[in-house]
Amino acid sequence: MTERGVTIWFTGLSGAGKTTIAEQLVQIARDRGRNVEMLDGDVVRTNLSKGLGFSKEDRDINIRRIGFVCNLLARNGVIAVASAISPYRAIRDEVRATHDDFVEVYVRCSIEKLTERDVKGLYAKALSGEIKNFTGVSDPYEEPLTPEVLLDSETETEEESLAKLVAKLEELGHLPPA
């Protein structure tokens, strides 16, 4: 019997904790015997989407590519975990519409907290105008309206967020109980 595949789509601003939580989820899924693959936005940009910039059109192309690969994986019984800012609601909804099973995970965090946490100083540079088209500062980020899972990395610990996510995925039948 083939396991049911699913795309678990992490969205949120840069530095919110998408990849951190996604990587932990991948390990839990593997520990529970599931086939799982992760597509991280930064890694995809280096390989699958090399040459794309940060215009709206290029961002949309990048998200469509990630969605396409996730759909291929999920159709074949794999848990496909995507971690990408994916700032535009319409393109996230377009990707969702191409999947049989899609779980949107919004990792929310305020610009103030992200600026405070930012070890690379990207938010400070974006806020001062040094970096153009920075999502959430000089480029829009459209929050999901009804994500299946809302994680608040400003008020929750990583452990609390991960526990909430795992519980929801168990409830939806995407992860076997521990």
Amino acid letter for position 101:
D
Residues 6+ apart with CB under 8 A from 174: 4, 6, 8, 79, 101, 103
Q: Residues, the chain, total?
A: 178
Is there a catalytic annotation at residue 86? yes
C-alpha 73/C-alpha 12 separation (Å) is: 22
C-alpha 87/C-alpha 138 separation (Å) is: 12
Longest dimension (CA), the chain: 55
C-alpha 85/C-alpha 101 separation (Å) is: 20
C-alpha 177/C-alpha 170 separation (Å) is: 6
Catalytic residue among 86, 110, 128, 138: 86
Q: At what angle do helices 18-31 and 158-171 cross, to 10 degrees?
A: 50
The catalytic site residues sit at 86
